[in-house]
Amino acid sequence: MGSVAGPEIERLVQLLARLPGLGPRSARRAALHLIKKREALMMPLSSALQVALDKVQVCKTCGNIDTQNPCTVCTDPKRDDAIIVVVADVADLWALERANATQGRYHVLGATLSPLDGVGPQDLTIDALVARAHAAEVHEIILALNATVDGQTTAHYITDLLQDANVKVTRLAHGVPVGGELDYLDEGTLSAAMRQRTLF
């Protein structure tokens, strides 16, 4: 079947299809919607993308992305300097902020250790984290890493490196999610919940 649109539109579709969660069909619908709403949507989006390209940078302190450096979180005086929450990715930081889960500072590793994917300690910001953990005001490091093999391997690796730092190292609780029904949970989640049970 031949192309139904010019190369410029096909290029737009191909670029949209590279975004997570958008396949070729969704990308075509999104491209068509953008074109139909050119004034209300496409022009502001184009402008926002250009501003992001020009101004967004990685925070030199924690690894968050922002238009200022250090980032908004790092310059917030209401944050608790005693706590550093370690996350694998900026998306995890944003998720914790949406949940208003902590008032601590953050440290973005950039990924998790994954020998199969060729990601080693040198590819992460672990050295910077260890240096931050040795600061006098830091009392706790919270490892907010995914409950995957790679996430837990990374957590154990970091914990070993922090042995000589005067900090408490904690991790997120694993178990039954709020609103979760036991019948629908996997065995790993159930066993973790049972091991980490708390007083009622």
Domains annotated on the chain, with CATH: 13-53 (no CATH), 63-169 (3.40.1360.10)
pLDDT tens-place string over residues 158-184: 999 999 999 999 998 888 788 878 788
Q: Which two tokens stand for residue 96?
A: 């914790």
Say what the pLDDT of residue 3 is: 62
CA dihedral 15, 20, 26, 31 (to 10 degrees): -30
In the chain, count H helices and then E strands.
7, 6
- Strand 140-143 vs strand 80-87: parallel, antiparallel, or unpaired? parallel
Beta-bridge partner residues of 108: 87
Question: Residue with structure tokens 């050295």?
Answer: 127
156/175 Cα distance (integer angstroms): 19
168/195 Cα distance (integer angstroms): 21
pLDDT tens by residue, the chain, 200 residues = 456 678 899 999 999 999 999 999 999 999 999 999 999 999 999 999 999 999 999 999 999 999 999 999 999 999 999 999 999 999 999 999 999 989 999 999 999 999 899 999 999 999 999 999 999 999 999 999 998 899 999 999 999 999 999 999 999 888 878 887 878 888 888 888 888 887 77
DSSP code for 119 = B
Reported pTM: 0.83
